[in-house]
Amino acid sequence: MINEVNIHTHGNTGHLSLNRPKALHALTLDMCHAMSAALTDWAADDAIEAVILDHAEGRGFCAGGDINLLRHSALNDGGAGGRAFFHDEYQLNHQMFEYAKPIVAFMDGITMGGGVGIALPCKYRVATENTRFAMPETGIGLFPDVGGGWHLSRLGGRLGQFLALTGARLDGAECHFAGIATHYLPADKLAEAKARIAENPDRIAGILSELSVTPPQARVEENCDRINKHFASDRYEDILASLEADDSEWAAKELATLRTKSPQTCKVALRQLADSAELDSFADNMRMEYRIASRVLTRPDFAEGVRAVIVDKTHDPKWNPATAEEVSEELIDSIFAPLPDGEEWAPLK
């Protein structure tokens, strides 16, 4: 069996390279554990000054987490396996966020869900013309986890709320415009960038700046005023009503998109981002997201959403509750409530 993460060192630089090309490098629990162990070792190794994170062959940086494992757990073991996956994946996200040595993520290709969770904690985040960034979870009855509450709530205006609800994809130029990426490089410059960083890990910022180019105009920029207007409220019903009252083609398109999403997890995402914006630590955010994940995993919308979008590909999910109005505040409160003693998320020791 191939290594699903290639782990190397080059001089004073550690190198993590995701290696599940047939699954677009989607994360398994074993991959999370391997990355976490390597980062722990390198943190204690004075010789290692920086870490490169990329993918091996094939498309995609990382398409997400192991959705099939999560659905199987939801249907067969009451969510126990899924909760274990979320718990340790979130430990990796937090470990990377707090990491004392700079990590450079090369988001060359699809960067979605779990891929966002390992890219955005990195100090340097490189986009290219191949980057396709999204948090599409509401379309399968999940929510933008892996630190999405923290990262999306801290983007400018209401862009984070728009991305969380619609699952809209951003290209590399848009990622750079939004601050999701710190640098924009042509894909054909990545090999040179990695080689130079491996030789001079103390010069990462300079190397990336020297190889950066001006990205194309960000398409999302011209829609920012619309996004800020229509997605201004933290009440999902208000957002739907605002779009319904606008007869523009753009509003009709976004409204049609939202009609395909789980009303429950759209409301969860809005609460998640609003609450996260008030938090002082990433650990507190991950504790909150683990509470949400533990509950959303076994609610009807997740297994149904994965069936409709990923398993059967019929794209006809029957959401329960079916409308925003039917998703009660009591239900949302129960999803966010603390877990029983001994079951809360905790960072790696």
CATH code (residue 67): 3.90.226.10
In a domain, 262, yes or no: yes
Over residues 84-95, the pLDDT tens digits come to 999 999 999 999
Helix, strand, coil shares of the chain, percent, nearest 5, are 55, 10, 35
In a domain, 348, yes or no: no
Provide the pairing of β-strand 5-10 with 13-18. antiparallel
In a domain, 16, yes or no: yes
> What are the angstrom distances between the C-alpha of 132 and each of 62, 116, 300?
10, 11, 29
Question: What is the extent of the structural domain holding 67?
Answer: 5-336
Residue 188: closest CA among 162, 213, 166: 213
In a domain, 96, yes or no: yes
| Amino acid in the structure at residue 71 | R
Note if the pTM is more than 0.95: yes
How many domains is the chain partitioned into structurally? 1
In a domain, 22, yes or no: yes
Average pLDDT over all residues of the chain = 96
Q: How many CB atoms lie within 10 A of CB 260?
A: 17
- Cα 304 to Cα 96: distance, rounded to the nearest angstrom: 32
Helix (H) or strand (E) holding 285: helix 282-296
In a domain, 349, yes or no: no
In a domain, 347, yes or no: no
pLDDT at position 59 is 84
In a domain, 239, yes or no: yes
Over residues 205-233, the pLDDT tens digits come to 999 999 999 999 999 999 999 999 999 99
Annotated catalytic sites, by residue?
A: 65, 114, 137, 145
- Cα 239 to Cα 259: distance, rounded to the nearest angstrom: 12
